[in-house]
Structure 1
């Protein structure tokens, strides 16, 4: 990320406020539509959020418990300081390559009855709130363990939820859970309990008043990742720390920090429509790079055999075929997945990398992260979990010309695991390697924080379309959720876009796909990740229509602009993305009937564009159409179908 402008902050102190005073501070967004009020009622700090005069979050608790002090009660408001922030930055890996961030800031200072101090910082931009705790030295105490948070979100009673539950620790394949790979329930009742809480991001509809997206960002090795949980009060959700059973029961559940210290940012995106939810950049606005890139990293498209050809394809001959496929498609990468170390070996891998290089294809290799955290048997194992082995392995990888790694099976949000993520990324940067995480947690601002980071799975992704008929049946439902929830806060390495009618190597007999070809092509636009493993197979060069192959050759993975067009989570989604001067508008339909839409596309006004769509039988085709001078366009999306427009 390159920062262009950062204006100097200015500040002033507001007067002393007593213990019993109601309102401590107010901060509004630059457009004055969004307002946060901080109060301190009987020593308990809280905040509320109002958007365009409507209460979106009622008084919600703040504070945390630690081994130094309980900062959830007996708090005395001391003063507040107001600032402004304005900065412009660029990042090619996120939904918008050029971002201007403007926010109003308030920092409220509190003190406990024993004299311990705490600051709470709120940044309020248009449609977004970000807040965190700033913890000064506590006298001679220069370290702290935070064990629990009171941080909460109290919703109006008309709210419904769109949430994905945390997985039970040490379950699933080889005891690798939780890995953020559960499904969702749409428009569920407020306060519905999940055994292990819910993952971030979390979407809420506040009746007819608007939408709220909750998440967190800026999590690094200095803190644990958190999630959302219900409370005894139906309307109140709270921040929760990792379950002790994660990572084989080893490691802490809270966060050990040095003082002065700070927590990650908790983010709230609010709008009267879904447009601010889809277009928000708040996960990236409030974080900064952790280190400088050791080189210029490149991103793009990749082939991978494993998604349909599975473990048996991890051999020299099949990988050569997928190198050839990448070359014919003009893809930058091939991913060689698990078991390459056993079935190909390092000596022959050198030759395979040289063959790929001769075809202008770069190689990504799969690694198991696990060490002692789980039982995943696939190799290479125990190469990423210790610093000594990791650096030796990365030295070899650089020497033979590997460009990046896909590291799998993390299964936890503890601070120890966050440290492992960061150590892998930092060491990889020293050796010029990009990193993709699989079987992993949600990325929390990592596109900005780590220059060689290239995406995470953290979603019920393409491999489950291969393994589960139930997931195949719900593919459209889940896909219409991702642009509004998972993918809007961070890169999502989904690994899909299937051209096979049957999700098998033979492309027949079993695992029949329930979605249309147009639907699959649309997901290549809807799902954003700087390096995307697409599920195009060698047989598709012969059995897929030319227009589909041309589209898969043309589709970029880096975007300069993202715009919400229309949609409702779990029903349908229409998103526009721009790469340089080319626009792609894609939509999908998860409902059981044809979706008839009139959409406004000013980027295509008065222009002829290519239009991929389905007929009533679900057959896909491409034709040229002209959008009227007002940019209005009528489209019909078939059930489990999709469409794409591009100039």
Structure 2
């Protein structure tokens, strides 16, 4: 008898004993624990605890595949020995550069009524819990996903900060979903989503004194991306699936494979608010980085005409002006946006790229990802749909000296669309190109696996505030929300910062608020919305601050904040600390901040002056001190 058959017989005997619950798996510091059990109804459940108090109440686990039911009539086998997971990696575009990850992992095997087997792997780290499903059963050679039972149950007293998931084929020229709604703030758990497609990740909750962020990580293209379902009766949130239209033309919506079926990690980050804000669990669970020339991984800052000047500015002379602007600001890039192939052309783009290189500036070029999944017409369009097309286009760009691409207007979260993202990243990496995804899904840890992914939109960014006054009026609360949610683990291309006027819009934020975004928002390439004329209105010390602003960060410290109201974060680059904060409230805010981590050194504080468009500069010291932030205002303090 083979070793495999003996193992299966031993497992079957263990399953027959029908152990109802496995011992709790704890985090290395023993503050977080998870318990996995089979219920009397023979379904699989788990619970999560922090310091012995329940955080995630008994919640469901399980998958249904074509020909295999791993959600009902289950038996729980013996768990594997606890394995210590230790990992370290560097992240070019994140809240920390050098990251260490330690977790305890245990794998639970369950048997279906038809004697098929599935594994559920759990990891518990000091900042959260993650689990994923693995189906390797050889009796099921073709594994086709049907449904997932995963849920997250909260106490009814908990509060939630959630963004509605956009309905596929709605919005501008049928370009939704693009993760571009406002978060609903501090709503009772169980509140239905106003949109039937559900709620997006990350989803933020507070239960007692514990903060929780739900998300997923490690999409490799073999599985679809998920969200939370629209209905959550009693505070139990269930995993939802992409809608039928969220696919690459002719591609699959849900996971399907002839090999092993491995789901993304379902991630439950939890702890105090500072612990949550400093957590890197969203990238800790991503696959290690693919090979990519480190010399080409160049985070930076970019000038960008389209934010305020729109389509008419995508012409050679204006783009040359923005190259000069980037050079004057000591920024790394200029982004040339939609329709450059028609309004500038490949030959003139090559000329612009050469001119930019002479100024020490790299050119980034926009592309339309879409085939026929929306009605957009901006170009270059439909030139990235196949591997052969991408190789041809990317090779041409590299020969011209272009540094990267911005790819826009994706079609959602189906498996085939996620595979399309991964294929673009892979082919761009092979060509040595950086990537920025727009009209896109949440990156879910891709910035670790693909060092060439600098940023992604997946947010209702500044451009919306230039379209309607309603969005401008809402932007302060929105900007105070996204550091706790959308930008928690993944780079975010919000395209911040305007000091001057927005055409036909009354700007509602002060200049200090706008400046603070340059530090608070994390993006591998930060595309600034301000024009040369607007920047000319700022004092010289503001311009100098933006010229010297680090392109990446080594360390983060959450200082204070509350989602949707205010946020203060400190970031270190080398020996310099940058402390930034903004206040979304309609009244001035006096804060008692602990800056003792800065020691005795003094710094320079840049904040709002007397008027909405004015700055003031002064000296500030570390230690415990009061800082006042004007309504819709902000500050940046630099300690070197």
Q: Which residue of 1 aligns with 2:4?
A: none
Q: Which residue of 2 aligns with 1:289?
A: 288
Deviation per CA, 1:119-172, whole angstroms, max 9, x where unpaired? 101110002111101111332x32211121000001111111100001111111
- Using the TM superposition, give the Cα deviation of residue 603 of structure 1 relative to its aligned residue in structure 2, in angstroms: 3.5
Q: Which of residues 617, 633, 639 in structure 2 aligns to 1:641?
A: 633
Give the match's secondary structure for 2:24.
strand
Give the match's secondary structure for 2:222.
coil
Alignment of 1:403-414 (within 5 A): 403-414=403-414
Greater shift in the superposed pair: 316-325 or 232-241: 232-241
- Using the TM superposition, give the Cα deviation of residue 248 of structure 1 relative to its aligned residue in structure 2, in angstroms: 8.4
The TM-score normalised by the length of structure 1 is 0.94
Confirm or deny that 1:606 pairs with 2:600: yes
| Residue pair 2:508, 2:632 contacting (<8 A) in 1 also | yes
Q: Which residue of 2 aligns with 1:74?
A: 73
- Using the TM superposition, give the Cα deviation of residue 245 of structure 1 relative to its aligned residue in structure 2, in angstroms: 2.7
- Using the TM superposition, give the Cα deviation of residue 619 of structure 1 relative to its aligned residue in structure 2, in angstroms: 5.2
Give the match's secondary structure for 2:627.
strand
Alignment of 1:99-138 (within 5 A): 99-138=99-138
| Residue pair 1:19, 1:40 contacting (<8 A) in 2 also | no
| C-alpha distance 219-47 of structure 1, shift in aligned 2 (>3 A) | same
- Using the TM superposition, give the Cα deviation of residue 543 of structure 1 relative to its aligned residue in structure 2, in angstroms: 2.1
Deviation per CA, 1:444-485, whole angstroms, max 9, x where unpaired? 110111121111000000110111211111111011111111
Q: What is the rounded CA distance, in whole Å, between the counterparts of 1:161 and 1:368 in structure 2?
A: 35
Q: Which residue of 2 aligns with 1:3?
A: none
| Residue pair 1:165, 1:197 contacting (<8 A) in 2 also | yes
The TM-score normalised by the length of structure 2 is 0.95
Query: 5+ residue gaps in structure 1?
Result: 1-12, 505-509
Give the match's secondary structure for 1:463.
helix
CA RMSD of aligned residues (A): 1.8
Alignment of 1:10-89 (within 5 A): 16=14, 20-41=18-39, 42-81=41-80, 82-89=82-89
Alignment of 1:351-430 (within 5 A): 351-430=351-430
Q: What is the rounded CA distance, in whole Å, between the counterparts of 1:134 and 1:26 in structure 2?
A: 20
| Residue pair 1:606, 1:626 contacting (<8 A) in 2 also | no
Give the match's secondary structure for 1:234.
helix
Q: Which residue of 2 aligns with 1:562?
A: 556
Q: Which residue of 2 aligns with 1:507?
A: none
| C-alpha distance 471-436 of structure 1, shift in aligned 2 (>3 A) | same
| Residue pair 1:575, 1:587 contacting (<8 A) in 2 also | yes
Q: What is the rounded CA distance, in whole Å, between the counterparts of 1:262 and 1:311 in structure 2?
A: 43
| Residue pair 2:331, 2:547 contacting (<8 A) in 1 also | yes
Deviation per CA, 1:246-270, whole angstroms, max 9, x where unpaired? 3488543321133323110010011
Q: What is the rounded CA distance, in whole Å, between the counterparts of 2:322 and 2:275 in structure 1?
A: 40
Deviation per CA, 1:297-354, whole angstroms, max 9, x where unpaired? 2120000100011100011110110010001001110000001000011111111111
Give the match's secondary structure for 2:591.
strand
Q: What is the rounded CA distance, in whole Å, between the counterparts of 2:527 and 2:232 in structure 1?
A: 43
Q: What is the rounded CA distance, in whole Å, between the counterparts of 1:169 and 1:250 in structure 2?
A: 16
- Using the TM superposition, give the Cα deviation of residue 620 of structure 1 relative to its aligned residue in structure 2, in angstroms: 3.8
Q: Which residue of 2 aligns with 1:200?
A: 201
| Residue pair 1:608, 1:624 contacting (<8 A) in 2 also | no
Q: What is the rounded CA distance, in whole Å, between the counterparts of 1:626 and 1:55 in structure 2?
A: 42
Greater shift in the superposed pair: 527-536 or 335-344: 527-536
Aligned residues: 624
Q: Which residue of 1 aligns with 2:546?
A: 552
Deviation per CA, 1:225-264, whole angstroms, max 9, x where unpaired? 1111144632111111101133488543321133323110
| C-alpha distance 537-284 of structure 1, shift in aligned 2 (>3 A) | same
| C-alpha distance 246-261 of structure 1, shift in aligned 2 (>3 A) | closer
| Residue pair 1:230, 1:236 contacting (<8 A) in 2 also | no
Q: What is the rounded CA distance, in whole Å, between the counterparts of 1:289 and 1:374 in structure 2?
A: 33
Q: What is the rounded CA distance, in whole Å, between the counterparts of 1:303 and 1:310 in structure 2?
A: 14
| Residue pair 1:605, 1:632 contacting (<8 A) in 2 also | no
- Using the TM superposition, give the Cα deviation of residue 69 of structure 1 relative to its aligned residue in structure 2, in angstroms: 0.6
Query: 5+ residue gaps in structure 2?
Result: 1-10
Q: What is the rounded CA distance, in whole Å, between the counterparts of 1:356 and 1:641 in structure 2?
A: 35
- Using the TM superposition, give the Cα deviation of residue 496 of structure 1 relative to its aligned residue in structure 2, in angstroms: 1.3
Q: What is the rounded CA distance, in whole Å, between the counterparts of 1:494 and 1:541 in structure 2?
A: 18
| C-alpha distance 250-183 of structure 1, shift in aligned 2 (>3 A) | farther
Q: Which residue of 1 aligns with 2:172?
A: 173
Q: What is the rounded CA distance, in whole Å, between the counterparts of 1:320 and 1:427 in structure 2?
A: 29
Q: What is the rounded CA distance, in whole Å, between the counterparts of 1:124 and 1:215 in structure 2?
A: 15
| C-alpha distance 322-89 of structure 1, shift in aligned 2 (>3 A) | same
Q: Which of residues 611, 617, 620 in structure 2 aligns to 1:623?
A: 617
| Residue pair 1:363, 1:402 contacting (<8 A) in 2 also | yes
Give the match's secondary structure for 2:298.
coil
| C-alpha distance 177-19 of structure 1, shift in aligned 2 (>3 A) | farther
